[in-house]
Structure 1
Amino acid sequence: MLEILPLAARPDTIEQLAAWHFGEWGKLNPTNDIAARSLKLQRHLQEHAIPTTFVGVEGTELLGSASLVEQDLDLRPEYTPWLASVFVAPEHRARGIGRQLVERIMAEAESLGVTKLYLFTFHHERFYASLGWHRVEGAVYRGEPITIMAWNPGN
């Protein structure tokens, strides 16, 4: 059975998360390697605060993650905070895990009094729109087109 837990409850998953995140997004920032990402995730071992990460697990198996961070896009430092690092292991995709992880971050943001939450995506705009996110703008990030989206709690 899928459980969505704070990273603080499963710090043993940090190394795997860092490897997944580097594999997925390392080309955007190659200097932010697995060791650097692991160190960064150590700061997410808190609850009811930013930054934080939630993980999806079934028993001892790690399935995915999503984070709530202050900043995720250097192009738009004025936008804060951000939903970031939404990742589901390829063999577990299309099971609704990503949706549950995103919804958990949205609930956490709302409980923290966040009035607007941002994300950027390369090609999942429809997925996020189905969860109530709206397009803010298009941009180019490190040579790749992206869509910046926002969500307003309570709307």
Structure 2
Amino acid sequence: MASLRLLDLRCCRERLATIASWHQLEWQQQDLSERTRQLTTHLETEAIPTTLVALSGDCAVGSVSLVRYQRLGGYPASVWLANMYVVPELRLKGVGSRLVAGAEAEAARQGVEKLFLYTHDQENYYKKLGWHSLRQHRLAGRPATIMTRTLDEARNQKACG
């Protein structure tokens, strides 16, 4: 695999359609046009919501988003790691952990002290990356684990560039 770079979606807008189609294939609760519309909001500001794209050479190979949910899982408005996706042929090769670390660093850079996520089936994966389980909850009609991670302010790098 060529060296892996993480870029903010604002720096590689031409990847938006690819990322929206990945999300549609992986999570089918919304149609493609709604997913595309939501991702387009990640281009509008240098704050959250934002999406990081993993590039290997010139190929997009994964993405992850930071979003603000108002009351997901009974928690007050907070920032969540969401839409974590790695192309199937590169799973278990470190791309996902690089994306998570990049999202954590970007959140810390923006002053976020605590991140949340939910997962239907990857609790052990996120635990290996330092996340902690908070509780079980039903989301999208399925059981999910809500997890959190307190961010270390030492991670203070810019994602774009």
TM-score by length of 1: 0.90
The equivalent of 2:94 in structure 1 is 96
Distance 1:72 1:66, change over 3 A: farther
The equivalent of 1:123 in structure 2 is 121
Question: Post-superposition shift, 1:4?
Answer: 0.7
Moved more, 36-45 or 83-92: 36-45
Question: Post-superposition shift, 1:76?
Answer: 3.0
TM-score by length of 2: 0.87
Distance 1:135 1:87, change over 3 A: same
Distance in 1 (CA, whole Å) between partners of 2:45 and 2:149 is 21
The equivalent of 1:12 in structure 2 is 14
Alignment partner for residue 69 of structure 1, among 48, 67, 70?
67
- Kept in 1: contact 2:73–2:146 (CA 8 A): no
Q: Which runs of 5+ in 2 are unaligned?
A: 154-161
The equivalent of 2:50 in structure 1 is 52
Moved more, 40-49 or 117-126: 40-49
Distance in 1 (CA, whole Å) between partners of 2:71 and 2:129 is 21
Question: Post-superposition shift, 1:72?
Answer: 8.2
Tell me the matched-pair count.
151
Q: Which runs of 4+ in 1 moved over 6 A?
A: none
Distance in 2 (CA, whole Å) between partners of 1:108 and 1:47 is 14
The equivalent of 2:32 in structure 1 is 34
Distance 1:13 1:101, change over 3 A: same
3-state SS of 1:44 partner: helix
Q: Which runs of 5+ in 1 are unaligned?
A: none
Question: Post-superposition shift, 1:79?
Answer: 4.7
